[in-house]
Amino acid sequence: MVKILIVMTVLFCAASACFAADQAPKATEPIGAVIETTGVFVGKIVGSTEQALTGEKKVTVKSDTGETMIFPFNETVEFVDKTFNILTFNQLKAGDDVTVKIKKALSE
């Protein structure tokens, strides 16, 4: 009886992990939100977008704690890899670890 309970518990945990992996991460800030702080944010790149008409570039980064932030890709923000290299927009790949350095407060 105890073995059956253990097997059922393991299967339940495995099934819930599989279903959780299928869900896309959701941004905690509204789309197009501008970060109003200075400092550093560390996490993995979730995605990047570029507006076709305006050329505006944005990068979504998710921290280990689950916090998701959207950063503009411009002169006020630097994306740095593990080896301390500043990345260009084309070098940003989903799943890569980055440190986002915000040089000054951003405004719209």
Q: What is the pLDDT along the chain (108 residues), one digit of tens a residue?
A: 766 657 566 655 555 555 544 444 555 555 545 545 568 889 999 998 888 888 889 999 999 998 999 999 988 889 999 999 999 999 999 999 999 998 765 454
Question: Per the domain annotation, does 43 fall within a domain?
Answer: yes
Q: Write out the residue range of the structural domain in which residue 72 sits.
A: 27-102
Give the C-alpha separation, 93 to 98, whole Å.
Answer: 10
pLDDT of residue 52: 83
Question: Per the domain annotation, does 35 fall within a domain?
Answer: yes
pLDDT of residue 60: 93
Question: Per the domain annotation, does 5 fall within a domain?
Answer: no
Task: For 50, list phi and psi in degrees, rounded to 5.
Answer: -135, 125
Contact between residue 87 and residue 79 where contact means Cβ atoms under 8 Å apart: yes
pLDDT of residue 43: 93
pLDDT of residue 55: 85
Looking at the structure of the chain, the number of domains it has is 1
Question: Per the domain annotation, does 1 fall within a domain?
Answer: no
pLDDT of residue 8: 62
CATH of the domain at 89: 2.40.50
Question: Per the domain annotation, does 4 fall within a domain?
Answer: no
